Amino acid sequence: MNTNNLKICVLGAGGWGTSLALVLSNNNYDTVLWTHDQELANSINENRINSDYLLNVKIDEKITITSDVNIVNSCDWIVNAIPTQYIFDTLQNHKIELNDKYIINGSKGIEISTLSRISQIFEKFDVKKDKFAVLTGPSHAEEVSRKTPTTIVAASENHTFTHKIQKVFSNDYFRVYSSNDVIGCELGGALKNVIAVAAGIIDGLDLGDNTKAALITRGLAEISRLGLAMGAIQMTFSGLSGLGDLFVTCNSKHSRNRKVGELIGKGQSLEEINSTMKMVAEGVFTTKAAVMLGEKYNVEIPITQKVYKILFENVKPRDAIKTLMTRQSKSEWWW
């Protein structure tokens, strides 16, 4: 697999897709940024700014911005940045060819309708495990696009592929580590968004640092318990795709999931929030999927269950917190 003359297409021209395209172009790869939205493609081509998703960041002239699937199908590698709930329909409806291509997934989440991890969505299009990798970790698009030092992890069952990804993506502001735990990296990236919604609720209620620290620690325990039941490696959740991503998403001003929670903590309804947010907060979707996965694998995830009740059953945040705080006492290390 020669990486010297790769043509790489990023699917999805949101903030993260645009930032990944900028990294690849910065590293002198022939880079295509594809969007199904012709108007967005025209706007970026005309202004070289993605004003919908990434304000005040200049888009390199070397990046091809297109809605033409034929250009996508001519690429060697595909980097997916399409929001999770839209991946299957986008690939199917636009007839994007994935045969014999190497796929790098940059999105995070779980498909609600099937409870599929993103690797399992791509398997439905006959993408083989040795040609699939997940790229994840604490990496807000707004900071990556401005070349803020960032570290992430690439996970695949194909060690050669992860090493190639490290070579292609890494530079002096974007460092890539490798892993073979696809399940753990996928679940860490998805489930932390649920805990981030809870972190936002804490911020909206002005509850302070003690409460936030308790949430992050016990939230990581929930993620780890469910992940282990689903086949992940425990150590993964102490790494970039686990603790690293959880920390940044629970605390950052850039986190859409944390922002949703904050607005709920301040008294807004989910319907009101959705009517004003342009970008997808995957944690809302993932909360539903996580509750179902907890039931499927018989894993206790009390924080996640309370987030679900706040989002979808109109339980008041302070009542949910009180219930969590007065649960039966347990050892810290129960699994």
Residue 308 scores a pLDDT above 70? yes
Q: Of 108, 131, 164, 192, which one is the catalytic site residue? A: 192
What is the reported pLDDT for 202? 98
Secondary structure percentages of the chain, helix, strand, coil, to 5: 50, 15, 35
Establish if 2 belongs to a structural domain.
no
CA distance 92 to 285: 21
Assess whether 285 and 165 both reside in one domain: no
Say whether pLDDT at 334 is over 70.
no
Alpha-helix residue ranges (DSSP H) falling in 205-244: 209-229
* Mean pLDDT, residues 280-306 taken together: 94
pLDDT in tens, 96-153: 999 889 999 999 999 999 999 999 999 999 999 999 999 999 999 999 999 999 999 9
pLDDT in tens, 225-252: 999 999 999 999 999 999 999 999 999 9
Q: Are residues 259 and 219 in the same domain?
A: yes
Residue 55 banded pLDDT, cuts 50, 70, 90: confident
Q: Please report the pLDDT score of residue 249 as a whole number.
A: 96
Whether the Cβ atoms of residue 181 and residue 133 lie closer than 8 Å to each other: no
> Is 335's pLDDT higher than 60?
no
Residues 155 and 199 in one domain: no
- The answer, yes or no, to whether residue 319 has pLDDT greater than 90, is yes
Asked if pLDDT for residue 224 goes beyond 60, the answer is yes
Count the Cβ atoms, other than its own, within 10 Å of residue 323: 14
CATH code at position 314: 1.10.1040.10
| pLDDT score of 278 | 67
Instruction: Identify whether 131 is a catalytic site residue.
Output: no
Per residue in 82-99, pLDDT tens? Answer: 999 999 999 999 999 998
Structural domain range at position 247: 189-325
Whole-structure pTM over 0.85, yes or no? Answer: yes
Picking from 143, 159, 180, the residue at the C-terminal end of a domain is: 180
Is the confidence at residue 2, as pLDDT, over 80?
no
142 and 245 housed in the same domain: no
> Is residue 125 domain-shared with residue 20, that is, in the same domain?
yes
